[in-house]
Structure 1
């Protein structure tokens, strides 16, 4: 699958061809990425200052939105075809949202609000969590 990421730690971002993510394990979902967030934290991933479980060669990105392609055992809150948004760190598949598909924990995803396009949904997770933490 096509992805934007790094071929090894501390390298420039490049277009990569990566293997498909594995099938979801219990509690996980496989998502077809429609849009991904980009932020200053992604630079921390590149030079390994933030360990999110990235295993190069890998796609960057810890937030995004898309459609569920497959669900692992025990996942009841999502079904194939559901639109979701998510923030995932660490990355259980070792690769992030800057790819065509990403494997994430279902508990780290939320249903995408109706009428919200993927580009706007992908920007919500980190910003929403930041606002929540400020209020707490």
Structure 2
């Protein structure tokens, strides 16, 4: 499987050939990545400032969008072929969205809104979570 990430602790980002992610375990989905987000947090992953359990050689990327290709037992919210977007940290298989496929916890994925293309969907997870946290924290702080 082709991926872009780190091959060792040297932290140089390169094109990689990785093994396929494992089959989904209970509560997990396997997603064929259509687009991946890129942000300043990726540098934190590269230099180990943010431990997402990346296990080199591994693809980078903690957010993205794609189609479900396999579903683990107990997953009821998704089926093969569904479009999803997600922010995943820690990375269940030790590798991220900058790869052709990624293993995710189903609870960390959301259905992709109809009509939203993969490129725009891939940019939503981290920014959406940040917005939700800001609103939630503001509401908590501003209670009378």
Tell me the TM-score normalised to structure 2 length. Answer: 0.93
Provide Cα deviations, 1:58-92, integer angstroms capped at 9, x if missing partner.
00000000000000000010000000000000000
Would the alpha carbon gap of residues 46 and 5 (structure 1) be closer, same or farther in structure 2, given more than 3 Å must change?
Answer: same
The Cα offsets for residues 76-124 of structure 1, whole Å up to 9 and x where unpaired, read as 1000000000000000010000000000000000000000000000000
How many residues are matched? 136
SS at match of 1:25: coil
Structure 1 range deviating more: 59-68 or 8-17: 8-17
What is the Cα deviation at residue 9 of structure 1? Answer: 2.2
- The TM-score with structure 1 as length reference comes to 0.99
Give the RMSD, CA atoms, in angstroms: 0.6
- Equivalence for 2:29: 29
Aligned partner of residue 44 in structure 1, secondary structure: helix
Contact in 2 for aligned 1:27/1:106 (Cα 8 Å): yes
Structure with greater Cα Rg:
2
- Aligned-residue offset at 1:12: 1.2
Match for residue 61 of structure 2? 61
Give the alignment of 1:1-136 within 5 angstroms: 1-136=1-136
Which blocks of at least 5 consecutive residues in structure 1 are unaligned? none
Counterpart-to-counterpart distance in 2, 1:130 and 1:50: 16
1:56 Cα deviation after fit: 0.3
SS in 2 for 1:68: strand
Aligned-pair CA distance for 1:47: 1.0
* Mapped partners of 1:121, 1:9: distance in 2: 31
